[in-house]
């Protein structure tokens, strides 16, 4: 299994870079594997995303969303929450959006504090 490579960028850039801006979002792709295979995949996503995160003690802030890219295969999105490490935000709760490419087994994260309603830049 390939190790996750941490990468930070803007959330929209993550989606556009993967060609997923207009891709349909589904709970599971057609021809889904067994429930055990999905469970194992979920653990892979969680492990890669928490390893790529810059937050301290990152954990899921919601359920994983699986996106079927046109020809790029499956990409999963996971919102993470944890503690901000930067001195100017020390101790504050932070959010990161993680995108996991199932084909390459790579996770990329981006600051996602502005994804919540009413969030200030």
What pLDDT score was predicted for residue 54?
A: 94
How far apart (Å, rounded) are the C-alpha atoms in residues 101 and 103?
6
Region 94-99 average pLDDT: 96
Which residue do the tokens 């989606």 mark? 15
Spatial distance between the Cα atoms of 92 and 99, rounded to a whole number of angstroms: 23
Q: pLDDT of 33-82, one tens digit each?
A: 789 999 999 999 999 999 999 999 999 999 999 998 666 789 999 999 99
Indicate the pTM of the whole model: 0.69
Checking if the pLDDT of 14 tops 80, the result is: no
Residues 6+ apart with CB under 8 A from 61: 79, 80, 81, 95
Question: In 1-121, where does DSSP find H-type helix?
Answer: 11-17, 35-52
Q: Hey, where are the domains in the chain?
A: 11-111
Element (DSSP H or E) covering residue 79: strand 73-83
Q: Compute the distance between CA of residue 72 and CA of residue 97 in angstroms, rounded to an integer.
A: 19
Q: Is the distance from CB of 15 to CB of 108 less than 8 angstroms?
A: no
Q: Which whole-number Å values give the CA distances from 57 to 51, 81, 86, in the listed order?
A: 10, 8, 14
């Amino acid at each position: 299994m390939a190790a996750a490579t941490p990468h930070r960028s803007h959330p929209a850039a993550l989606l556009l870079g993967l060609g997923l801006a207009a891709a349909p979002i589904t709970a599971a792709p057609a021809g889904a594997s067994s429930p055990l295979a999905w469970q194992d995949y979920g653990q892979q996503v969680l492990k890669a995303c928490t390893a790529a995160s810059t937050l301290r003690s990152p954990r899921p802030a919601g359920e994983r969303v699986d996106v079927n890219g046109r020809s790029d295969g499956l990409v999963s999105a996971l919102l993470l929450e944890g503690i901000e490490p930067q001195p100017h935000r020390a101790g504050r709760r932070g959010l990161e959006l993680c995108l996991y490419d199932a084909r390459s087994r790579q996770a990329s994260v981006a600051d996602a504090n502005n994804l919540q309603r009413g969030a200030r830049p």
